[in-house]
C-alpha cells in the first residue's frame, strides 16, 4: 500500500523532544519560578530594610548603632549582600529573557487593546522592573558607597563605616533627591503590589481559600512599603528628622 505523491503532508511537524534530559531553567515556568524565589528574597529584604531604616525616627544613636552592628559582622553583611546580588542578577536575567520571549510571542500588537481584568500594577511590571534596577544602582551609589552623595559621612572613617543617620538627613535635605526616592517608592509599591502575590502563583500556590488573603497581604505590604519608606524623606524635608 502506498500513498500517492499527491497526498498532502502531515500537520504537526514540530514536537517536543522528550528524550532530552530536562532543562528546568530552559522552560518559561522554570524561569518564572526563579523569578518568584528571587522576588521573594527581594521582597523580604525590602521589608526588613524598611524596618531598619525606620530607626531613623529613634534618633542618631540608635540608627548609627544599627549601622555599626551590621558592619561588625562581615560574614553576615557580605553574606547577605552576596545573596541579594545573586538574587537580583537572576531576577533581572530571567526577566530579560522572559520579556524577549514574550515580545517574540506577540510580534504584532492590536490597534486597540482594552484590559478586561488585570491590574495596572500587573501590566506595568516590565516598566517598574527596569526603573527599580536603575534606582537600585543610584541608591547603592548614594547611601552605600557614597559616590553619588555630595556629603557622605563616616562614623568610623578608618574602617569606612558610614554614618547612616547623617547621610540620610543630608541626602534627603535636597528636595530633588527626596522626590526621586518618593517616585521610586511608588514604582516599588506597584512592583510589589503584583509581584508579592504573583510569586505564589508562579510557584504553584493558589487556593480559593488562601489566595484572596495572599492578594490582600501583597497589597498591604506594598502600601506599607510606600508609607514607611516615604515617611523618611518627608520627615527630613518637614524638619521632623534633622
Residues at the interface with other proteins (CB under 8 A)? 1-8, 10-12, 14-16, 18-19, 21-22, 24, 26-33, 98, 101-102, 104-119, 122-123, 125, 194, 197-198, 200-208, 211
Q: What is the 3-state secondary structure (H, E, C) of 138-192?
A: HHHHHHHCCCCCCCCCEEECCCCEECHHHHHHHHHHCHHHHHHHHHHHHHHHHHH
Q: Is 132 exposed, middle or buried (0-12, 13-18, 19+ CB in 10 A)?
A: buried
Between 125 and 192, name the residue whose CB sits nearer to other proteins.
Answer: 125
CA 64, CA 56: separation in Å to the nearest integer? 9
User: Which cell is 152 given?
Assistant: 557622605
Between 14 and 242, name the residue whose CB sits nearer to other proteins.
Answer: 14
Q: Among residues 237, 138, 240, 117, which one has the least CA distance to residue 184?
A: 138
Between 119 and 144, name the residue whose CB sits nearer to other proteins.
Answer: 119
Contact 93, 156 (CB under 8 A): no
Minimal distance in Å, beta carbon 163 to other proteins?
A: 42
Between 103 and 157, name the residue whose CB sits nearer to other proteins.
Answer: 103
Minimal distance in Å, beta carbon 1 to other proteins?
A: 5
Residue with cell 529584604: 45
Minimal distance in Å, beta carbon 133 to other proteins?
A: 18
Minimal distance in Å, beta carbon 41 to other proteins?
A: 17
The DSSP output letter for 37 is H
Minimal distance in Å, beta carbon 154 to other proteins?
A: 43
Minimal distance in Å, beta carbon 112 to other proteins?
A: 4
Residue 154 DSSP SS3: strand
Residue 39 DSSP SS3: helix
Between 119 and 174, name the residue whose CB sits nearer to other proteins.
Answer: 119
Between 8 and 239, name the residue whose CB sits nearer to other proteins.
Answer: 8
Contact 164, 66 (CB under 8 A): yes
User: Which cell is 63 given?
Assistant: 540608627
Amino acid at each position: 500500500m502506498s500513498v500517492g505523491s499527491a497526498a498532502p503532508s502531515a500537520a504537526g511537524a514540530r514536537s517536543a523532544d522528550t528524550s532530552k534530559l530536562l532543562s528546568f531553567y530552559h522552560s518559561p515556568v522554570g524561569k518564572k519560578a526563579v523569578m518568584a524565589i528571587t522576588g521573594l528574597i527581594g521582597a523580604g529584604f525590602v521589608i526588613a530594610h524598611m524596618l531598619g531604616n525606620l530607626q531613623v525616627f529613634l534618633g542618631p544613636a540608635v540608627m548609627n548603632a544599627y549601622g555599626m552592628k551590621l558592619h561588625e559582622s562581615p560574614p553576615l553583611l557580605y553574606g547577605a549582600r552576596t545573596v541579594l546580588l545573586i538574587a537580583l542578577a537572576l531576577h533581572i536575567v530571567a526577566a530579560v529573557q522572559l520579556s524577549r520571549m514574550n515580545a517574540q510571542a506577540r510580534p504584532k500588537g492590536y490597534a486597540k487593546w482594552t484590559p478586561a481584568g488585570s491590574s495596572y500594577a500587573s501590566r506595568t511590571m516590565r516598566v517598574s522592573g527596569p526603573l527599580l534596577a536603575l534606582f537600585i544602582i543610584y541608591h547603592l551609589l548614594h547611601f552605600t558607597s557614597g559616590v553619588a552623595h555630595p556629603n557622605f559621612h563616616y562614623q568610623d572613617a578608618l574602617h569606612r563605616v558610614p554614618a547612616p543617620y547623617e547621610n540620610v538627613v543630608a541626602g534627603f535635605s535636597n528636595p530633588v533627591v527626596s522626590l526621586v526616592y518618593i517616585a521610586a517608592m511608588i514604582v516599588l509599591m506597584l512592583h510589589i503590589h503584583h509581584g508579592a502575590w504573583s510569586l505564589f502563583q508562579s510557584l504553584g500556590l493558589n487556593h480559593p481559600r488562601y489566595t484572596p488573603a495572599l492578594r490582600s497581604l501583597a497589597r498591604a505590604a506594598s502600601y506599607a512599603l510606600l508609607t514607611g519608606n516615604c515617611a523618611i524623606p518627608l520627615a527630613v524635608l518637614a524638619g521632623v528628622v534633622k
